[in-house]
Amino acid sequence: MSHAISRRRGSLAATAAALSLVAGALLTAGPAQGADRGSDAARTALKGTKPAWATERADRGSAADSAKVTVRVYLAGRDQHGLEAYAKAVSDPRSASYRHYLTPRQFKARYGATGHQRARIRQWLASAGLKTSEASEHYITATGTAAAVEKAFAVELHEYSMNGKLYRAPSAAASVPRAVSGAVLAITGLDNAPHRVEQHEALPPPGPVFRNSPPFSTYYGSNTDRTLPKAYGASQPWAVKGYTGKQLRASYAHGSSLTGKHVTVAITDAYASPTIAGDAARYVARNGDKPYRKGQLTQVLPADYNSTEACGADGWYGEETLDVEAVHAVAPDADIVYAGSASCFDNDFLDTLSKVVDNRLADIVSNSWGDIESVQTPEIAAAYDQIFQQGAVEGIGFYFSSGDNGDEVAHTGTKQVDVPANSPWVTAVGGTSLAVGRHGTYRFETGWGTNKALLAEDGSSWQGLPGAFTSGAGGGTSKFYAQPFYQRGVVPDALARAATGSPQRVVPDIAAVADPNTGFLVGQTQTFPDGSQRYSQYRIGGTSLAAPVIAGVQALAQQGQHGVPIGFANPAVYDRYGTAAYHDVTDHPLGAGRTLAVARRDYANGVDGSEGVITSLRTLGKDSSLKAVPGYDDVTGVGSPAAGYLKSYQHHH
């Protein structure tokens, strides 16, 4: 059983609830623990198989022997360590193997599981009474009774009380026979934490309309209301209406003629907006972007969807729309493949990402979803990382938004980073607040982190300035992953050692606009209060904007190096650190004494002024405990793409 990807990154998008926890299962040497039912042969224990919530105090006794259980046995392949080594070498500009990519067929021949390994695993599972099936190159599914699972994994399954309900989980560490241990990467499904699956569901209609209230600025600082109270010694401008593709290209492509031609960007989200083609076409017509040519935007969708209610399917429509429109805005000639997941649960996302690498559907993959590191388990991390490494050796790069809750303390009570952005095999994209001036000139960026203060009832002051933290770019130090080679010598030691005392992975790697107060104008069919569905435009942000913007920039960069895939980008990203490739983004770009803010007006009901408007001041550059400072930092990474970024790919191909 896999947990829900509990949050899309759009600051204005609905939030799907986290529904379940996962049983861990990374292999570790050592004797098995638990009841060995049926074999005295040597076994290898599975680290983390017993979930943290399966405590002795919560134990309510043995699970029914006849209960139906389905598990996935993820396959390690024939050379797990070799795969990791080659993924590093092929991505490292200093390696002799740099960009010597493999095709999916070559990958399978060199690193895929052998027929012999699969046969041994099937034989072991069948001998315990489990029925196996193989719908994927990456895992074998096994189904049977709890008694059969107990026999296969030499463990007792118990019922545990959690949140007033009973759930099944192993009572100790599970194990596998030594004869198959080298072929097993990870196991999922030994627990049945909540996961509501409803088959054959029709997708719901688009979500309720959201509209921004005027007044607006058309570019940063174009409209300042002198009647509002001053803040930080100055009158502050109204928030922009929403930047368009022309303004984003001016800020990150800097007049380049590159358009992303002959490059394919994949976008993964859950479900699929039924109106995406029409919305995308309408958006470019309204906002002066290049029209889509026939076949430029395609979708690869699952045969069926599940958990639409549990995952808030319609909330994902806006995410897909934002991602598609942002990629096209930055790279108007890039092909876009939308790969929709069957639900917001890890198993379905793993299937979707596998589809991308197994069929090499794209060069660049933009992902605006994730969860918090504290729910990460070793086996789910291993399954994701294997796909990211496969992508690396095939010349496919994965980009993940770093999160919208800063250091996560206000959101979860614990300082932590987000997953899968924490993986050392993906490019984690942080966020900025972006000021685009008159005629599309790049003025400055701050780290994205927002405090909100309301206008006093008498209109004379901003209450409790700067106000409470609302949202900001995710970042910080992973407790899960050690420091990757490419961060050595760039990430300050104090940051790298902040979580555990030893050098760890720090997030993010690079950044782009994310602040919804300096956000992107998106166009989508939405449901209005009268029940009608109509196209409407609104401003949106979040690191789910930053990720597709960087994916678009990477499409331009790939075109610039004559179409040679960039692949896993981080070694090359860090190789350019400290050069003209990046804007070194800080929280105080106009000087230490100058705090920046924008005024914003919102409809109380999110639609119109019939129930009043709320005026607030949004102070920029205050991302919880995270700080955008000169050099690498945990809000913006190495910075955002400057004029030298695309030139560096054109000169070094």
pLDDT digits 0-9 by tens, 55-82: 999 999 999 999 999 999 999 999 999 9
C-alpha to C-alpha distance for 591 and 594, rounded to whole angstroms: 6
Q: What is the mean pLDDT of residues 11-21?
A: 31
Least confident window among 203-217, 255-269, 510-524, 610-624: 203-217
Residue 441 has pLDDT above 60, yes or no: yes
For residue 369, the SS3 value is strand
369-372 and 613-619 as β-strands: parallel, antiparallel, unpaired? unpaired
C-alpha to C-alpha distance for 310 and 4, rounded to whole angstroms: 9
pLDDT band at 41 (very low <50, low <70, confident <90, very high): low
> Mind listing the domains of the chain with CATH numbers?
21-78+113-188 (no CATH), 245-651 (3.40.50.200)
- Average of per-residue pLDDT values in the chain: 91
Residue 33 has pLDDT above 90, yes or no: no
397-401 and 364-367 as β-strands: parallel, antiparallel, unpaired? parallel
pLDDT of residue 7: 44
Q: What are phi and psi of 350, to 5 degrees?
A: -60, -40
For residue 606, the SS3 value is coil
pLDDT of residue 377: 80
For residue 537, the SS3 value is strand
Find all residues with CB under 8 Å of 530, minimum gap 6, and list them: none
Q: What is the mean pLDDT of residues 492-521?
A: 97
Q: What is the mean pLDDT of residues 295-300?
A: 98
Q: What is the mean pLDDT of residues 249-270?
A: 97
Whether residue 3 contacts residue 16, with contact meaning beta carbons closer than 8 Å, is answered with: no
DSSP H/E element including 520: strand 520-527
Residue 29 has pLDDT above 80, yes or no: no
Residue 9 has pLDDT above 90, yes or no: no
pLDDT digits 0-9 by tens, 159-179: 999 888 899 999 999 999 999
**What are the structure tokens assigned to 177, written together?**
């026979």
pLDDT digits 0-9 by tens, 195-236: 332 223 457 778 899 999 999 999 999 999 999 999 999 999
pLDDT digits 0-9 by tens, 92-109: 999 999 999 999 999 999
**What are the structure tokens assigned to 593, written together?**
């004494």
Q: What is the mean pLDDT of residues 396-421?
A: 95
pLDDT digits 0-9 by tens, 381-396: 999 999 999 999 999 9
Q: What is the mean pLDDT of residues 578-585?
A: 97
HSE of 517 in the Cβ direction (CA atoms, 13 Å)?
Answer: 31
pLDDT of residue 292: 98
pLDDT of residue 22: 31
Q: Which residues of 450-469 are buried (b: 16+ CB within 10 A; e: fewer)?
A: bbbbebeeeeeebeebbbeb
pLDDT band at 37 (very low <50, low <70, confident <90, very high): very low
Whether residue 75 contacts residue 140, with contact meaning beta carbons closer than 8 Å, is answered with: yes
Tell me the pTM. 0.93
- Closest to 597 in 3D by CA, of 298, 146, 235: 235
pLDDT of residue 76: 96
**What are the structure tokens assigned to 512, written together?**
């782009």
Residue 302 has pLDDT above 50, yes or no: yes
